[in-house]
Structure 1
Amino acid sequence: MRKSLFFFLLLITSSIGFGQSIDEPFSKTKMSKDLAVFKEIRQKVNSGLYKYRTKQQIDSVYNWAENEIKNLTTYREFYNLISEVTDYEGSLHNDTSIPNKKRQNLRKEKTGYFPLSLKWIQGEWLINSKNGEIPLGAKIISINDIPISEVISELNKYYTTDGQNLTGKRLGIRTHFSKYFRLNYGLQTNFKIDYKKHNANKSEEIIINSVSYSKYYERFRARHSKPFDQIYYADLDYDQKYSFQKIDSLSGLLTIHSFSMGNESSEEHKEYAKFLDSVFTKIKENKIANLIVDVRQNGGGDDPNDLVTYSYLTQRKFQENKQAWISFKKIPLLKYYNIGIPKFIRPLLVGKYNRQLQDNFPLEKDKNYYQNENSDDHTIRLPKKNAFTGNIYLLISPAVASAGSLFASMVAGNENTITIGEETIGGYYGHNGHTPMEYKLPKSKIVTRFSIVNLEQDVPQKSNQSYNRGLLPDLEVTQSFEDFIKNIDTQMNYTLELLKAE
């Protein structure tokens, strides 16, 4: 969620004085030092450390990591270990990245990368490239004799999600499969691929040469599914982020691809507010009874766009959060804080940020610091006078995150809402968000980024909703194989058929 209490000076500085290959040797002493620092950072700064895992579970994963170091020899292997621990916590706002120069060197690599684009369709990983060595739509069974299920399980650690959500990880894997494979397994000369054509009885085997980093992404940009899923990757202009259209005399479609429109003072937010007021005035005047709300590409954005939108789709009083807290009074461990300035003057620069944190989280309870009733997050909001009272059909997908998942979860909590699609990457009951912070490990220069505010969202208890999962649909609908081949929207067509049956 791109809501900030203050502006942090987050400069990712390049490392000086050590090698730039991720495959270089890296000493166990340095690994142990950095793992200890990483653990200390999480314990002192990250309020979400025990959100989805018990203390016993977190202690166990660190014990595993400490023991695992004895089996590691390279920088890449250590980065993978830190990624594993990062992912285990369960927060889509967690991110662990290698230094810029190492990342730039990956991009320069001329060989070693998997050459084909893949996409998850109905439980299988399919070829998403036309005119390649393997036919479009063929199912991958194994790569270099590793079952694809095992490959995916290994690569999941690189794309974090809230709780124990798995659907969201498919987004990162479909985009960066080749890079993730290289990070996990190293550079490969070629790939032995066992695959099966659609409806074939027997599998086939082929050996394909590796390609460069840039060649893989060139092929990904030319993927078969681009006409269908490009909106997820697009840098949207303001007039592409939302729209409304009538479907028939009784039904309409409200599409919101993003809440990135600035806060109350921005012109883009003001234009969006005018759009909503106009749309819902017309909906009421035209006696629209059914409204499809499509947020399948909404990865979040700025407050209060999500809340203003919800005020047109509810009949209840509401607030953004039931509670929100952080785990420190003053920013800890400043010597590792990644702001690109000398350590000795960092306390001077972060002083005002500490005061703002203390103003926003003034209530101390069990050594944590909570917002009070004066916080904007706890402001009681009312439905708009033209708020919709008919049937809502909410379309969701794994791409729905942060402010998008907060909004979707609130709408899904309405009694007049049917939720259709796939589980969201963002949690239903809450998440860690709002304010990102970055730290840099001293030896490896690995940067760890996470959001520090632990949020409990203002949503009702639902019998079909697990605490450690994203928003679960009432009706799970995924794209079919036939619609994948034709780039047809299975979920939208399913919803339109529901409306016809009403």
Structure 2
Amino acid sequence: MCTRYFLAFIICTSSLFSCTTGKKAYSPYRKYPKEALQKDYILLREALEAKHPSLYWYQDKDSIDAFFDRQYLRIGDSMTEQAFAWHIISPLLRQFHCGHTTVGLSKSYSKWAYGKTFSSFPLYLKVWNDSMAVIGNLNRKDSLMTRGTLVTGINGSRNKELIRGMFSYLPTDGFSESINYTRLSSNFPYFHRNIFGLSKTYRVNYIDSAGREKEAILPMFEIKKDSSKEKTAKQKTTKPSRKKIPRSERLTVYRSFEIDSSKQFAVMTVNTFTRGNLRTFFRRSFRTMRKKKIPSLVIDLRSNGGGHVALSTLLTRYVTRERFGVADSIYAVSKDLGRYTKHFRGGWLNNLEMWLIAARRKDGKYHVPYLEKKKFSPKKSNHYNGHVYVLTSGSTFSASSLFCNAVKGQEGIWLVGEETGGGWHGNSGIMIPQFKLPHTGIRVRFPLYRLVQYRHVPKNGSGVMPDIPVETDYRFLLERKDKKMEVARQLILQQQEKQDSVPSNP
């Protein structure tokens, strides 16, 4: 009897493992049938129409409905996950003008792509206005396209047409394209590959050293395949090793603090309001400045894409000259996620949080009364009273744009740089779970609350505008110099020359 049960157990166990090992490996080249793609699309549309707080904030319902219908008709007979995400969903989400509503590929795709290098357009380009300049070249033997070479067109498209075409796939808060200039400048080959696909060669128009426009044929940057079967097998089975970085160095990725050798100013770089042990960091940094009587401070938020509102509010309290609020209004359009709960990451936990923080008002919306009513006072301990220069860029987004809005216009505080990517009037950046499409596994970041900024400006679609604009300077680009930081330094020197205007007790 025991032998019989043991054999049955072995057979069942073997069947289980044989099924597991027989599971098909993920392939990014798999094409999904039209019916599956349509089901994913319809589910996403219904969820957005039912739960998104800002679908019709910048365009009327008829325009949005027409675009929904148009993209549905563009779904092909079969499409890869990547094509569906980039060419159907991305242009759709662009129409909402909500920078927090974005699309990402499936978890399976992310695992497959981890550690891989892909063939692509070979040039990294700095993009500003209608200009593009080479800042890197993946084809290292190419001596023609060196740093600073001005590009005027690619594959027959002039810069203006090309940039606007790529923007049509990328989200914005309102109408501020500053974040998209930053995106293209950070990884032009990535966006060009996903939007236009690959070409064996690229026709690139450029300006030569004599100022004449010419055309060059550039080969695609291509990954060379290893002919060794042994090495190929090793690459498939071995994950890229991660070098262990000391904690102190890891934290500098998120934030850093340095006092200039002149002792006249300090630079505080805050790249996120999510990580970096920021409460302790802020307390120690501002205490140091108080003890050393540092008269000026540069706060660099150029790479800060946002994070926890509580932490951006904390930083504001250290430098603000007056009481302030976070928002004039924050609300969701429903009390929970309803029948879409199972498709959201976090599921019922999102519902629980929505039930706890929001209450229905007369307008039928579910408001967050705490953040609408709460006013915050300047910090009493280690508050900074010196001159403050806040560096901004297109990547200054979400919670960092809340900070900029709160301090803008205050005495002794200036925003220096570019229009923020985060909306000045408001954004939909509170509670952003992922919404997973069941057939393709594609994930959509799906905000649940609309936030209108404290003492909000009119809804014109702009980001927070700088007090001292600093645009891209070609000369600084060639010399690899930081123009915004240099402008801040010059402003600080000018302030030092006016001793009567420098606070004596920062």
TM-score range, shorter chain: 0.7 to 0.9
Q: Bigger CA drift: 51-60 or 102-111?
A: 102-111
Question: Which among 74, 80, 103 is matched to residue 79 of structure 2?
Answer: 74
The one-character-per-residue Cα deviations of 1:333-378 (angstroms, maximum 9, x if unpaired) are 33651449xxxxx7xxx1x642431221013343320012xx2564
Partner of 1:209: 220
Name the CA distance, whole Å, in 2 between partners of 1:377 and 1:109.
Answer: 46
CA drift at 1:40: 0.8
Decide whether aligned partners of structure 1 residues 239 and 469 sit closer, same or farther in structure 2, where only a CA change above 3 A counts. Answer: closer
**CA drift at 1:280:** 5.2
Alignment partner of 2:96 out of 84, 89, 109 = 89
Task: Please report how far the alpha carbon of residue 181 of structure 1 lies from its aligned counterpart in structure 2 after TM superposition.
Answer: 2.1
Q: For 2:481, which of 488, 493, 497 is the aligned residue?
A: 488
Secondary structure of 1:451 counterpart: coil
Task: Report SS of the residue matched to 2:306.
Answer: coil
The one-letter code of the counterpart of 2:28 is S
Distance 1:365 1:37 in 2: 30
Change (3 A) 1:109 1:354: closer
Match of 1:32 in 2: 38
Match of 2:491 in 1: 498
CA–CA distance in structure 2, aligned partners of residues 135 and 246 of structure 1: 33
Aligned 8 A contact 1:397 1:424 in 2? yes
**Separation in 2 of the partners of 1:167 and 1:453?**
23
2:460 corresponds to which residue?
A: 467
Distance 2:374 2:48 in 1: 30
8 Å CA contact 1:401–1:425 kept in 2: the answer is yes
Deviating 4+ runs (over 6 angstroms)? 16-19, 107-111
3-state SS, counterpart of residue 171 of structure 1: helix
C-alpha separation in 1, matches of 2:210 and 2:386: 43
Distance in 2 (CA, whole Å) between partners of 1:315 and 1:470 is 23
Distance in 1, matches of 2:444 and 2:125, equals 28
Q: Does 1:242 align with 2:251?
A: no
Residue 9 (structure 1) aligns with: none
2:391 is aligned to 395
Alpha carbons 1:300, 1:404 under 8 Å: kept: yes
Give the drift of 1:38: 1.4
In structure 2, distance between residues paired with 1:109 and 1:304? 37
Match of 1:182 in 2: 193
The one-letter code matched in structure 1 to 2:304 is N
Which residue matches 1:371?
368
8 Å CA contact retained: 1:325, 1:371? yes
Q: How much identity, in percent, do the aligned residues show?
A: 21
Greater RCO between the two (CA within 8 Å, min separation 6)?
1
Distance 1:58 1:166 in 2: 20
Structure-2 residue corresponding to 1:321: 327
- For residues 155 and 395 of structure 1, the distance between their equivalents in structure 2, rounded to whole angstroms, comes to 27
Q: SS where residue 184 of structure 1 aligns?
A: helix
How big is the shift at 1:19? 7.5
Write the letter of the residue equivalent to 2:430: H
Alpha carbons of structure 1 residues 124 and 322: separation in structure 2 relative to 1, 3 Å: same
Paired position in structure 1 for 2:503: none
* CA deviation string 1:22-65 (max 9, x = no partner): 5x554443343332211111111211222333323322321322
> CA contact under 8 A between 1:167 and 1:423: conserved in structure 2?
yes
Report the Cα offset of residue 400 of structure 1.
Answer: 1.0
Report 1:330-349 matches (<5 A): 330-334=336-340, 337-339=343-345
Distance 1:398 1:238 in 2: 21
CA distance in 1, matches of 2:287, 2:395: 28
Partner of 2:375: 380
| Structure-to-structure mapping, 1:151-300, within 5 angstroms | 151-197=162-208, 200-212=211-223, 236-237=250-251, 241-245=255-259, 251-260=264-273, 268-279=277-288, 281-282=290-291, 285=293, 288=295, 290-300=296-306
Per-residue deviation, 1:96: 0.9
Deviation at 1:422, TM superposition (A): 0.9
Preserved contact between residue 86 and residue 95 of structure 1 (Cα < 8 Å) = yes
How far apart are the structure 2 equivalents of 1:85 and 1:261?
Answer: 29
Identify which of 50, 59, 62 aligns with 1:53: 59
In structure 2, do the counterparts of structure 1 residues 96 and 497 end up closer, same or farther at CA, with 3 Å as the change threshold?
same
On the 8 A contact 1:144/1:192 being kept in 2, the answer is: yes
1:387 CA displacement: 4.1
Cα distance between partner residues in 1 of 2:191 and 2:422 = 22
Query: So what's the TM-score if we normalise by structure 1?
Result: 0.78
- In the aligned structure 2, how far is the partner of 1:132 from the partner of 1:91? 42
Provide Cα deviations, 1:417-439, integer angstroms capped at 9, x if missing partner. Answer: 33221111111222111312222
Q: Which runs of 5+ in 1 are unaligned?
A: 1-15, 216-233, 341-345
* Counterpart selection for 2:417 from 408, 415, 421: 421
How many residue pairs get aligned? The number is 445
CA distance in 2, matches of 1:197, 1:469: 36
Q: What TM-score, normalized to structure 2?
A: 0.77
What corresponds to 1:443 in structure 2?
Answer: 439
Task: Provide closer, same or farther for how the CA distance between residues 331 and 90 of structure 1 changes in structure 2, counting only shifts above 3 A.
Answer: same
Contact 1:91-1:432 at 8 Å conserved across structures: yes
CA RMSD of aligned residues (A): 3.4
Q: Could you tell me how far apart the structure 1 residues matched to 2:306 and 2:389 are? A: 20
Query: What is the letter of the counterpart of residue 445 of structure 1?
Result: G
1:132 offset after TM fit, Å? 4.8
Greater C-alpha radius of gyration: 2
Q: What pairs up with 1:140-155 in 2 under 5 angstroms?
A: 140-155=151-166
Do 2:386 and 2:412's aligned partners in 1 also have CA atoms closer than 8 Å?
yes
Cross-structure match for 2:27: 20
Q: What amino acid does structure 1 have at the position aligned with 2:91?
A: E
In the alignment, structure 2 segments of 5+ residues that lack a partner are 1-22, 227-247, 496-506
